[in-house]
Amino acid sequence: MNELQLKMCDIQGRLFELSGANGYDSTTFIKAFMTGEVAKNLDSKFNRMQWAGEEYLLAEIADTAKLTRGGAVYDKEVLYWAGYLYRFWHFATGEDSKDIYRQAPAETMSRNWLIFHTFAPEVAIEDLKEICRQRGER
């Protein structure tokens, strides 16, 4: 993982954290992001969105996904970890955000955070993939 990729992981973690600070329902926000155009743009080899900060990215998602405030908001540590790990997962495996989300939706990330956030990202990803396999989805 190079420095730019790690920076993008951090920005995505801060984006998820910012979604909570702005009162967006976490499961709705995460699904909208991971299956939407902004994540698709971040997945590409080069896209102008990769140079944007978390505030700009949040505004883009809120506008395109028509997000509204309210609902259940995950703890900021859970949100940061999920955002960071989703982007790390993309860089580590080359999988797109939509496929990553299918394997590990928001609820799975929240439920497993307490233990998995202590693991190296590569180990957490493998364990999340195993959970998906056990559900019979891969």
The pLDDT of residue 48 is 59
Is pLDDT of 29 > 90?
Answer: yes
pLDDT-derived band at 47 (thresholds 50, 70, 90) equals low
pTM (two decimals): 0.91
- Tell me which long-range contacts 33-38 makes (C-beta under 8 A, separation of at least 24): 33/61, 33/65, 33/97, 34/86, 34/97, 34/98, 34/100, 34/101, 35/97, 35/98, 35/101, 36/61, 36/64, 36/65, 37/64, 38/64
Q: Kindly list the domain boundaries of the chain, sorted by start residue.
A: 3-134
